[in-house]
Structure formats: C-alpha cells, structure tokens
Structure 1
Amino acid sequence: MTIHIQYVQMPESESLSKIVTRNLQKMAHKYQFVIRADVFFKLGQGKDGKDKICEIKLSAPGPQLFAKSTEDNFEKAAAETISDLDRQLRKRKEKFARRKKAI
C-alpha cells in the first residue's frame, strides 16, 4: 500500500507520520486489497478545543473508503479515523467473502 500524508496549513510532524504509517501498514497487512491511503491533517475552527482534524481516503476495489475525525489532539483523531476505516474494511471483506460463496 502506498501512503501519502499531507499537513494542510500546518507544520509537519515526523512522530505523527510514523504513528499513522505504522497503523496503516498493520491495516494493509490485515486487508491486502487496500491499494493506497491519502491522509490529511488539518486545524479546524472548533470552539470546544476539538479542532484537530484527521481525514483518510483509502483506495481499494469498489468505492473509495473515507473517514474523518475531529478531536483535541491529532493522535486521538488519527486513531479514531483508523478505527472507523477498520470497521468499513471488515464489512467490505465480509461482503467479498459472501460474493465468493455465492459464485
């Protein structure tokens, strides 16, 4: 899987990039049909302190997968986004398995 990380109007964080890359590589090992991940970190306009945004788009067979989380720090936002994508990938894998059985 190819991973592209972009920091939108904010400085890059090597440690955050490492964390996200490690977690996405684990996901790629688990779901080998994932082709590419585009990760975006942004600062939002949240008034409640939750202004750190993580968006991830995954390219895989079928429609593109997308998840977005807003938290009070980027690590939490990334973890929540990856968790959402894991749930989506699990559902897609089950759907593929059902289709194989039907054939």
Structure 2
Amino acid sequence: MNIQIHSLKFDADKKLLDFVHQKVEKLAQFGEDIVHVEVCLRIDKDQAKGNKVCEIKLDMSGKPLFARRQCKTFEEATDSAIDALKRQITKHKQKKRGV
C-alpha cells in the first residue's frame, strides 16, 4: 500500500505525520486490495466546526473511496475520516460478495 500525506497551508510536524501514517496503515486490516492512499491535511477558514480538515482518497481495486472530515484538531479529523472509510470498505466488500 502506497501512502502519501500532504499538508497544505502549514508545515505538519513529525508527530502528526506519524499519527496519520499509523492510522492509515490500519486500514489494510479492512481491505487487503488497497493500492494507494492519499491524505490531505489543511487549515480551513471556517471556525464554527473547527478549522482542521482531513481528506483521504483511497484507491481499492475496482472502486475509489473518499472521506472528508472537519474538526477542531487534525487527530479528531483523521480518526473520523478513517472511521468513515472503514464503513465504506465494509459496504464495498459486502456488495462484492453479494450479501
């Protein structure tokens, strides 16, 4: 699985990058056929929900998946986006099996 992490409008520290990388690697437990993952961390202007945004694009064989979450911290946004992708992967696998 190839993982790319981008930080836009700020410089992410090593601790944050390691956290995101660790979380994304755990997705391999849910989908063995994950080929490529691209994570985009950025700061948004909207302060109401929180201004930290995590977007994750995941390429599985046959179907690209995407999750975008906005929270007060990058860690919260990453956790939330990963949870959304876990649900999407599970749904995709069930459809593939015909359940």
TM range (shorter): over 0.9
Q: Deviations over 1:57-97 (max 9, x none)?
A: 00012231000000001000000000000000000111122
Between the aligned partners of 2:13 and 2:90, the Cα distance in structure 1 is 29
CA distances 1:21-77 after superposition (whole Å, capped 9, x unpaired):
111111113310111100000000113261000000000122310000000010000
Q: Could you say what the CA RMSD is over the residues aligned between the two structures, in angstroms? A: 1.4
- Paired residues for 1:57-68 under 5 Å: 57-68=57-68
- Same amino acid, percent of matched pairs: 28
Q: Map of 1:1-103 to 2, 5 A cutoff? A: 1-48=1-48, 50-98=50-98
Q: Unaligned 5+ residue runs, structure 1?
A: none
Decide which structure has greater strand share.
2
Gaps of 5+ in 2: none
TM-score, normalised relative to structure 1: 0.89
3-state SS of paired residue (1:64): strand
Q: How far, CA to CA, are the matches of 1:24 and 1:11 in structure 2?
A: 19
Q: Which of structures 1 and 2 has the larger relative contact order (alpha carbons within 8 angstroms, sep 6+)?
A: 2
Give the structure with higher Rg (CA).
1
Q: Answer yes or no: is the 8 Å Cα contact 2:36–2:60 preserved in 1.
A: yes
Q: Which has the higher helix share?
A: 1
Q: Give the distance between the partners of 1:94 and 1:20, measured in 2 at CA.
A: 27
How far off its partner does 1:14 sit? 1.1
After TM superposition, the score normalised by the length of structure 2 is 0.92
Number of matched pairs? 99
List, as ranges, runs of 4+ consecutive aligned residues in structure 1 with deviation greater than 3 Å.
none
